[in-house]
Amino acid sequence: MHYRLLVPLIAAMGLAGCATTLQDVNQGLTGLNNTLAAVSGTPIATPQPRPIFNAPQLTAQQQASLLQALQGQQGDKRVGQSVREATPTIRAVLEKRACNSSAGSRVFTAPGREFASLLPMAYTPYHNKAACLSVARIHGWKMQALNALSFEVVYLADDSGETVKADHEVVKQPDGAWLFSR
């Protein structure tokens, strides 16, 4: 019975000793490297961080298309005012979604909500994923409540001609921020 505990304990102690030894070896090699660099007069190269993932970026034309879609006519004054207030949030999230990224978009999500749907690019099998989708149109603006605005976005893959529609809703928070609820 006691042997079951003894074997993992011995293994853990052995690994802890190896970690300390490896740390000592690493420090020794670092010191040797610094000494050799000083003797030869060669500066020590500092490692440059490499990006893990190069996400595509919207082109200038795609950015202009998105802004134009956001500035379209809404008809109702109340809807127009809400769209103007929510535009910075909507723009930030749609730019990320068009480029197949959800990184950083949680800050624009309403409390207790989550973007559960796939990114639009998942529905474009023939589109080159190294390029962003364009926002072809934003329409169907509706005030679901005094503080809730829904709309539909049409994404376009410029290279393949594929289109994807996505329904979204933003809700005005008590602090005045518009956040995505779907």
Rounded CA separation 100/179 (Å): 20
pTM exceeds cut of 0.85? no
Q: Kindly indicate the confidence band of residue 152, based on its pLDDT and cuts at 50, 70 and 90.
A: very high
**Domains, the chain, ordered by start:** 1-50 (no CATH), 60-180 (3.10.450)
Tokens describing residue 94: 């749609």
Rounded CA separation 66/83 (Å): 13
Closest CA relative to residue 67, chosen from 56, 58, 55: 58
Average pLDDT, the chain: 83
**Residue 39's pLDDT is what?**
64
Each residue's pLDDT tens digit, 90-109: 999 999 999 988 777 788 99
pLDDT at position 10 over 90 = no
Q: What are phi and psi of 87, to 5 degrees?
A: -55, -45
Q: Kindly indicate the confidence band of residue 5, based on its pLDDT and cuts at 50, 70 and 90.
A: low
pLDDT at position 162 over 80 = yes
pLDDT at position 115 over 60 = yes
Tokens describing residue 163: 């289109």
Residue 133 near residue 127, CB atoms below 8 Å: yes
